[in-house]
């Protein structure tokens, strides 16, 4: 990480970067970590959205800025991306975003209470295109159970991918899941990002899935 990014990251630890009790790995959450007090984290009571794997915030920053009435907590494991996001949040004075530099499964399980979220966003998760790596894909039935438990009734899970096979896997899991109602596919306010542009340039179609918590 560049020195200036490292300084911004360190200065925001406990501020925009949530200081999460660490488990065995740098990106895991300690088993006894208490759930976050989201009101205290954001300094107000407002609907909370979680973004999973926000990268440097190409979707997150414009979407959060356009919706000052909601707070957005991002989970992102790649520290340089977290640092780039934080630097942008400071530069653009975006105040309704916090980032937890931990794995989303541990983060959702340990840091977020049941029914606490109004939305979950998962935009362009790592596609793991080779068949032998499909088991590493984040969105599967077990992960869908976890997301369903953290969403409030009526809350939405928005997902985007440029990999047809992954989109089919998401549809198969979520269309069959008893806790979700499938809504029409819709990109809504999601901006075009680098990942989307690359996918389109390489001839892949973009799928934007929406599933509502029953």
Ligand X SMILES: C[S@@+](CC[C@H](N)C(=O)[O-])C[C@H]1O[C@@H](n2cnc3c(N)ncnc32)[C@H](O)[C@@H]1O
**Residue 187: Cβ within 10 Å count:** 15
- Tokens coding 121: 């966003």
CA distances from 102 to 4, 52, 72, 89 (A): 22, 10, 15, 19
Near ligand X by CB under 6 A: residue from 8, 12, 28, 59: 59
Stretch that binds ligand X, among 4-12, 69-77, 167-175, 200-208 (CB under 6 A): 69-77
Q: Is 126 a catalytic residue?
A: yes
Pick 157 or 195: Cβ nearer ligand X: 195
Q: If you ran DSSP here, which 8-state letter would residue 23 be given?
A: -
Q: Tell me the C-alpha distance between 82 and 56, whole Å.
A: 6
**Residue 205: Cβ within 10 Å count:** 11
Q: Which residue is nearest to ligand X (CB)?
A: 53
Q: Tell me the C-alpha distance between 12 and 105, whole Å.
A: 23
Out of 126, 168, 186, 189, the active site residue is 126
Tell me: does residue 5 bind ligand X (CB under 6 A).
no
Q: Mask of contacts with ligand X, 130-169, x by CB under 6 A?
A: --------x-------------------------------
CA distances from 129 to 133, 159, 173, 201, 203 (A): 7, 17, 17, 17, 15
Near ligand X by CB under 6 A: residue from 77, 90, 179, 181: 77
The distance of closest approach from Cβ of residue 72 to ligand X in the complex, given in angstroms and rounded to an integer, is: 12
Element (H, E) at 61: helix 60-66
- Known binder of ligand: residue 204? no
Stretch that binds ligand X, among 35-43, 65-73, 75-83, 90-98 (CB under 6 A): 75-83
CA distances from 7 to 11, 101, 175 (A): 6, 16, 44
Tell me: does residue 55 bind ligand X (CB under 6 A).
yes
- Known binder of ligand: residue 3? no
Tell me: does residue 128 bind ligand X (CB under 6 A).
no
Residue numbers of the site for ligand X (CB under 6 A)?
A: 52-55, 58-59, 75-78, 81, 103-105, 123-126, 138, 193, 195
Positions at the binding site for S-adenosyl-L-methionine: 51, 76, 103, 126
Enzyme catalytic residues: 126
């Amino acid at each position: 990480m560049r020195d200036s990014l490292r300084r911004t990251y360190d200065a925001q630890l406990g501020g925009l970067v949530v200081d999460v009790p660490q488990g065995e790995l740098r990106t895991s959450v300690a088993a006894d970590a208490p759930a976050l007090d989201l009101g205290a984290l954001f300094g107000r009571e407002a609907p909370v959205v979680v973004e999973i794997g926000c990268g440097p915030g190409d979707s997150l920053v414009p979407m959060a800025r356009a919706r000052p009435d909601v707070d957005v907590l991002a989970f992102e494991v790649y520290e340089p991306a977290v640092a780039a996001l934080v630097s942008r949040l400071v530069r653009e004075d975006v105040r309704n975003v916090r980032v937890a530099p931990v794995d989303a499964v541990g983060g959702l399980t340990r840091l977020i209470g049941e029914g606490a979220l109004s939305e979950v966003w998962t935009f362009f998760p790592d596609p793991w295109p080779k068949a032998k790596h499909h088991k590493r894909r984040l969105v599967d039935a077990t992960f869908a159970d976890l997301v369903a438990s953290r969403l409030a009734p009526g809350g939405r899970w928005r997902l985007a991918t440029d990999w047809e096979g992954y989109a089919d896997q998401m549809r198969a899991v979520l269309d069959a899941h008893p806790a979700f109602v499938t809504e029409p596919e819709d990109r809504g306010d999601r901006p075009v990002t680098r990942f989307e542009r690359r996918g389109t340039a390489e001839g892949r179609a973009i799928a934007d899935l929406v599933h509502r918590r029953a």
